[in-house]
Chains A and B, each alone.
Chain A
Amino acid sequence: KQEVTQIPAALSVPEGENLVLNCSFTDSAIYNLQWFRQDPGKGLTSLLLIQSSQREQTSGRLNASLDKSSGRSTLYIAASQPGDSATYLCAAPSGNTPLVFGKGTRLSVIA
């Protein structure tokens, strides 16, 4: 059974700082991994999807990496902005379950 863990649970950084969010998963037989953003009381916005054949994906200031062998993924945010403040969720499929989510990292970027 897939378990997804995200570290840290919360993070507060000053504006402009580069930061890394970590995600680990127990079942490495995944075909992809997806990172989402969730604003308070809102739904999920897909940020990046990494296929198992890829090692990383980039979108603007975001870069996600995937290391299946070690069961890890990281989300790198460059030059953070107050608008980046949100909860970031990592999710991976498991068997017949479409996505198993971590508990998220709550990010606060201070102006």
Chain B
Amino acid sequence: GAVVSQHPSRVICKSGTSVKIECRSLDFQATTMFWYRQFPKKSLMLMATSNEGSKATYEQGVEKDKFLINHASLTLSTLTVTSAHPEDSSFYICSARIPGRYGYTFGSGTRLTVV
């Protein structure tokens, strides 16, 4: 139980284009989801908290206009990287709290490469 599905797993895009990453909770409802970014050989860093039906909360230093988050339903949150540049290339991963417990479950991640 408590499975989070993330798509796509890999995406390569041209500089200046936008890319959308989806995160779905398959067997539970998630009013809150979390988006992380991971640089090579670095820790996962929280980018933003996605709240169903309201605006996302961004961590300090994360550009709201570049990383658009939409949490339109209780099972879907999307992260759109707008006007992507090579420095946005990274591993993005979403997470949700496991219902009824204190732990978190994670998606399989998206490897974004901007060329």
Task: Given A97-B46, A101-B43, A104-B43, answer yes or no on A44-B102 (Cβ-Cβ < 8 Å).
Answer: no
B46 adjacent to A99 (CB under 8 Å): yes
> Is there contact, CB below 8 Å, between A46 and B46?
no
CA distance A101 to B103 in the complex (A): 14
Q: Give the A-B pair count, Cβ closer than 8 A.
A: 56
Give, as a whole number of angstroms, the nearest-CB distance from B67 to chain A.
17
Q: Could you tell me how many residues of chain B have their Cβ less than 8 Å away from some Cβ of chain A?
A: 23
Most A Cβ at <10 Å: residue of B44, B46, B101:
B44
Set of chain B residues within 8 Å of A102, measured between Cβ atoms: 43
Contact check, B42 vs A103: say whether CB atoms are below 8 A apart: yes
* Chain A at the B interface: SS class: strand
Interface size class of A (residues with CB under 8 A): 20 to 34
Q: Closest residue of chain A to B49, judged by CB?
A: A98
Q: Are B103 and A44 in contact (CB under 8 A)?
A: no
Are A89 and B102 also in contact (CB < 8 A) when A43-B93, A43-B108 are?
no
Q: A41-B109, A91-B44, A103-B41 are in contact. List 7 more A-B contacts (CB 8 A).
A: A41-B91, A43-B6, A97-B46, A98-B49, A99-B44, A99-B95, A99-B104
20 A–B contacts, CB within 8 A, in A order: A36-B106, A41-B109, A41-B111, A42-B108, A42-B109, A43-B107, A43-B108, A43-B109, A44-B93, A44-B106, A46-B105, A49-B101, A51-B102, A89-B43, A91-B44, A98-B46, A99-B34, A102-B43, A103-B43, A104-B43
